[in-house]
Amino acid sequence: MEEQEAEGRAARLGVLKVVVAQGTNLAIRDFTSSDPYVVVRLADRNAKTKVINSCLNPVWNEEMVFSIKEPVGVIKFEVFDRDRFKQDDKMGHAFLDLQPVAAATKLRRALQLTTGETKLRKVAPGADNCLISDTFVTYSGGEVVLDCRLRLRDVESGELFVTIKWIEAVAR
């Protein structure tokens, strides 16, 4: 019986929503500005924001949805400057290990949380992420949520503000 329940939990699908909210202090790649967009990569799947023309502090507020079994692996964010007549310029990248989201999901199940808002886990900047400061994985409104500021790497400046939301499918 326990084995069947474990298998059912492992096979349960969910939805990982990635909200690319905004960028700040992005690098200049054209004469005085850039035309930035973000590519989000999770395993073998990619999604892309719209291009914001002539802006170093773009606001995208775009949500990408990935149907997956568990919130595991590393999610990558690559920022580019769109160019019309040549290859798009790189404007940095950031990454975030989804392990804290997976651990918080297990804790939410163990605590049997269904309502309210609860801080489940603190996540600190480290080698497995590009976080700028400590943040928390919270449970709110049926979603496990991680709001974070990420410092872009391999570039002179830039930050991304993103939100990761995990919505577990309801067991039947």
CATH topology of domain 2-168: Immunoglobulin-like (2.60.40)
Which range has the worst mean pLDDT, 104-108, 131-135, 158-162?
104-108
Measure the CA–CA gap between 146 and 133, rounded to whole angstroms: 13
- Pair of tokens at residue 123: 């996540």
Q: What pLDDT band is residue 170 in, cutting at 50, 70 and 90? A: low
Q: Which amino acid is at 46?
A: N
- Pair of tokens at residue 73: 């692996």
Distances (CA, A) of 110 to 7, 46, 104, 139, 165: 17, 32, 10, 13, 19
Length of the chain, in residues: 172
The tens digit of pLDDT for each residue in 27-77 reads 999 999 999 999 999 999 999 999 999 999 999 999 999 999 889 899 999
Q: Which of 152, 149, 120 is nearest to 137 (CA)?
A: 120
Question: Which residues of the chain form beta strands (DSSP E)?
Answer: 14-24, 36-42, 45-48, 59-68, 74-81, 89-97, 117-123, 135-140, 143-151, 159-168
Could you tell me the residue ranges of all domains in the chain? 2-168
The tens digit of pLDDT for each residue in 138-168 reads 999 889 999 999 999 999 999 999 999 999 8
- Pair of tokens at residue 149: 């500021």
The chain-wide mean pLDDT, for the chain, equals 91
User: What is the model's pTM?
Assistant: 0.90
pLDDT score of 2 = 45
Examine the pLDDT at 90 and tell me if it is beyond 50.
Answer: yes
Q: What pLDDT band is residue 112 in, cutting at 50, 70 and 90? A: confident
Examine the pLDDT at 7 and tell me if it is beyond 60.
Answer: no
Measure the CA–CA gap between 83 and 89, rounded to whole angstroms: 7
- Pair of tokens at residue 160: 């991304």
Identify the helix (H) or strand (E) that includes residue 6.
helix 2-11
